[in-house]
Chain A
Amino acid sequence: GDSVTQMEGPVTLSEEAFLTINCTYTATGYPSLFWYVQYPGEGLQLLLKATKADDKGSNKGFEATYRKETTSFHLEKGSVQVSDSAVYFCALTLPGGGNKLTFGTGTQLKVEL
């Protein structure tokens, strides 16, 4: 079946460090790929998305590129801030499958001063 695999957390970084959170997927067809973020005590919100191969999604300094050849959608940020501390979820939807999201298990990020 369709699935999303994320790197295990928690990830602890110092402020201004480089961030990579790995995400790979298994899917039939050509999925759309998403990163959602959950700040403490809140619901999820969309961080960025990419809907076809080689697309790059970007928002708030975060980037991710849809790599069909490696079935990956790794999240990166050049310089993290304490305010980026949150849980990050990689997810996919399938064409013809409507809005049904398949999520990874989430990666907790903690950024320290």
Chain B
Amino acid sequence: NAGVTQTPKFQVLKTGQSMTLQCAQDMNHEYMSWYRQDPGMGLRLIHYSVGAGITDQGEVPNGYNVSRSTTEDFPLRLLSAAPSQTSVYFCASSQRPESSTDTQYFGPGTRLTVL
């Protein structure tokens, strides 16, 4: 199993550009989520999905879109990049959406810089 994979590893954008961060998992997990990691702030939840076709907002959703057309994939779209979106982005997955005790598995992260 590859686990949770993310592409790209690094990306530099100009203000106003759009892009999609890719996330895939091969563990047949129902729950997937996106976090951003900023210095001094820990990780904050952007969006999450409890299954194919179902998504919802987390703590910091503004400026981001998600969709979940398959169980495996959960891409994160930046519609019009802003310098405030410079961050490290992590995708995570876990087996049971209804469980608050399941282990979450994280991808290696995408480091995004917006100029």
A-B CB proximity, top 5 nearest: A43-B106, A103-B42, A93-B100, A44-B106, A105-B42
| Contact B41 A105, beta carbon cutoff 8 Å | yes
Given A99-B31, A103-B43, is A43 in contact with B101 using a C-beta cutoff of 8 Å? Answer: no
| Contact B107 A32, beta carbon cutoff 8 Å | no
B30-44 CB contacts (< 8 Å) to partner A: 31, 33, 35, 40-44
Given A32-B100, A49-B103, is A101 in contact with B43 using a C-beta cutoff of 8 Å? Answer: yes
Query: Does A66 count as interface, using CB distance less than 8 angstroms?
Result: no
- How many chain B residues sit at the interface, stated as a range, is 20 to 34
Q: Which residue of A is nearest B95, CB measured?
A: A99
Interface of A: prevailing SS = loop
| Contact B101 A93, beta carbon cutoff 8 Å | yes
A5-60 CB contacts (< 8 Å) to partner B: 31-32, 36, 41-46, 49, 51
Query: Does A98 count as interface, using CB distance less than 8 angstroms?
Result: yes
| Contact A43 B103, beta carbon cutoff 8 Å | no
A100 / chain B contacts, CB cutoff of 8 Å: 33, 45, 48, 58
